[in-house]
Amino acid sequence: MANIREIAALAGVSVSTVSRVLNHHPYVAADKREAVLKAIHELQYTPNRNAVNLAIGATRMIGVILPFTNHPYYSGMLEGISAHALEHHYDIILCQTNYDVAEEERALQMLRDKLVDGIIVCSKQGDWALFETYASYGPIVVCEYTDSPYLSSVYADFYKSTIEAMNTLIAEGHRRIGYCLGRTNSYNSQQRLAAYKAQLQSIGEEVREEYCFFHCYHFDEGAEVLRSMLAFSKPPTALLVAGDQAACGIVIEAGKRGIQVPSDLSVIGFDNIPIAKVLELSTFDYVSYDIGTTAFDTFYRQWEAQAADSGPVEKHELPCQIIARSTVGPAPKKQ
């Protein structure tokens, strides 16, 4: 592989001139430019990206931290990030963590070690303090709410949307409402749970432990929830489900077990994944794609603005609309 010095020698100019041609600087005479281009073509030269990165102190790469990709919530976000990264000629380094904090830290170190210009955190397990520690090395954008003054944040208001979902069900006369969530300890889950409890309280219903299901991510986990409900003497008449995959699992399993949706059981999902439409699932249009694009744009502004120091942190709340389809109906009369 040829390097810039060989090009300079072949073209009969200095390396500075070659570099100028490469970077479209003005002040290069037409004939020398021609000579350089000819030499580049002859030797099939392309700059070594590592040398460029080292010299300019930037890589046009961004690290994306997420637990896994085989879930529409994250792959949607990734699509969004990817789309806007492409536009700005950025590449993505994927840091799949499986919610392992050590992996999260390893990803953050890439920022410190100059391997990436910034970090987007789709979901995390570690404390905010961990992420704040690395914020001085470059922009970090988190796809979750945080009031940290060091971290940018792009999020939807899950408290608000959960209230809305609950009110929708309550308006249909439901009182025995269950909730299916993913993790117990995330900020998002806690917000949702708080809203759930608040609205139950507002109609004078107590919170029943057995109506709250956790670790519901996938289709079969949703199906499992429905099966376990069969044993209840007083099963919920409505379920709020934090992810469409689990919600679809519930709806499909209900169909198999002869439970009519929505006349026996109402279901509201979250995410609006493609299959939700096919199954006519009522859900929330949490466009994870938009979260992704906004997160990238936020990073990019911060990066560009960091002329002297670091650009200002941004906070963006994205809307999250309910999509009424066919899985919500009035509560059954006799209970």
Partner DNA sequence: GGTTGACCTGAAATGCGTTTCATAGTTTAT
Partner DNA sequence: ATAAACTATGAAACGCATTTCAGGTCAACC
Q: How many Å apart are CA 264 and CA 238, to the nearest integer?
A: 8
Which listed range, 51-59, 169-177, 199-207, 308-316, lies at the site for a copy of itself (CB under 8 A)? 51-59
Both structure tokens of 94: 């994927």
Between 45 and 159, CB nearer to DNA: 45
Give min distance, CB of 310 to DNA, in A.
17
Both structure tokens of 297: 């744009």
Which listed range, 68-76, 208-216, 231-239, 300-308, lies at the site for a copy of itself (CB under 8 A)? 68-76
Phi, psi at residue 283, to the nearest 5°?
A: -160, -175
> Which of a copy of itself, DNA, none sits in contact with 43, Cβ below 5 to 8 A by type?
none
Q: Which of 232, 174, 182 is nearest to 73 (CA)?
A: 182
Asked if residues 214 and 183 have their Cβ atoms less than 8 Å apart, the reply is yes
Q: Collapsing DSSP states into helix, strand and coil, what is residue 66?
A: strand
Give min distance, CB of 37 to DNA, in A.
13
Is 14 an interacting residue with respect to DNA (CB under 7 A)? Answer: yes
Q: Collapsing DSSP states into helix, strand and coil, what is residue 186?
A: coil
Between 81 and 177, CB nearer to a copy of itself: 81
Give the one residue of 34, 38, 42, 48 binding DNA; rule: CB under 7 A: 48
Is 278 an interacting residue with respect to a copy of itself (CB under 8 A)? Answer: yes
Tell me the site size for DNA, rule CB under 7 A.
Answer: 30
Q: How many Å apart are CA 276 and CA 282, to the nearest integer?
A: 8
Tell me the site size for a copy of itself, rule CB under 8 A.
Answer: 51
Give min distance, CB of 273 to a copy of itself, in A.
9
Residue 197's Cβ-count burial label (10 Å; 0-12, 13-18, 19+) is: middle
Is 248 an interacting residue with respect to a copy of itself (CB under 8 A)? Answer: yes
CA dihedral 100, 105, 110, 111 (to 10 degrees): 130
If phi over 0 gives left and psi between -120 and 50 gives alpha, with beta otherwise, what is residue 225? alpha
Which listed range, 50-58, 92-100, 124-132, 146-154, lies at the site for DNA (CB under 7 A)? 50-58
Beta bridge partners of 213: 180
Give min distance, CB of 91 to a copy of itself, in A.
5
Q: How many Å apart are CA 326 and CA 161, to the nearest integer?
A: 19
Which listed range, 28-36, 84-92, 143-151, 182-190, lies at the site for a copy of itself (CB under 8 A)? 84-92
Asked if residues 254 and 225 have their Cβ atoms less than 8 Å apart, the reply is no
The site for a copy of itself (CB under 8 A) is made up of 46-51, 53-54, 59, 61, 64, 68-72, 75-76, 78-79, 82, 86, 91-96, 103, 109-110, 112-115, 218-220, 222-223, 245, 248-249, 252-253, 255, 274-275, 277-279
Binding site for DNA (CB under 7 A): 1, 3-5, 12-20, 22-23, 26-29, 31-32, 45, 47-48, 51-52, 54-57
